[in-house]
Amino acid sequence: MMTDQSRQKTYPVSWDQLHRDSKALAWRLVEAPRPWRGVIAIARGGMVPAAVVARELNIRLVETFCIATYEDRVRGEARILKVPNAEGEGWLIIDDLVDTGRTARVVRDRLPGVHFATVYAKPAGRPLVDTYVTEVSQDTWILFPWDTELRSVPPIVRDAPAT
């Protein structure tokens, strides 16, 4: 029988839900006090939400900040692959998730004064973002639609008591 400690918590997100949550993020950003010079998507996870937010806020200038921190669900050293051509305030950083805050710290060090917004936030990284939509627990793995496919899965509890 599976124990609570051995269960892996997952939070599957569909394309439809990601679109709705990204649009909800745009609604929150409408209330922000300054006009945006442009959007910077954290590649790769922030690219889809950034496209939705840029459309909803009618922002035409979109850059990317390319950083690699995960390899097959394992955190590694943060490797900066590309820094956007963007300086000063008025830039809006968009990412799919802030987890431990490691990526957010790297981005904030490189681009001080930006407004950092994520669709999902975990407690450890939440203080590093200015705007987010949904909080999930630190021990939950979010299954984004680009990382999943439909297939059969076993039930959570495999050994049911005989009745």
Provide the annotated active-site residues: 95-96, 99
What HEC string does the chain produce? Answer: CCCHHHCCEEEECCHHHHHHHHHHHHHHHHCCCCCCCEEEEEECCCHHHHHHHHHHCCCCCEEEEEEEEEECCEEEEEEEEECCCCCCCCEEEEEEEECCCHHHHHHHHHCCCCEEEEEEECCCCHHHCCEEEEECCCCEEEECHHHCCCCCCCCCCCCCCCC
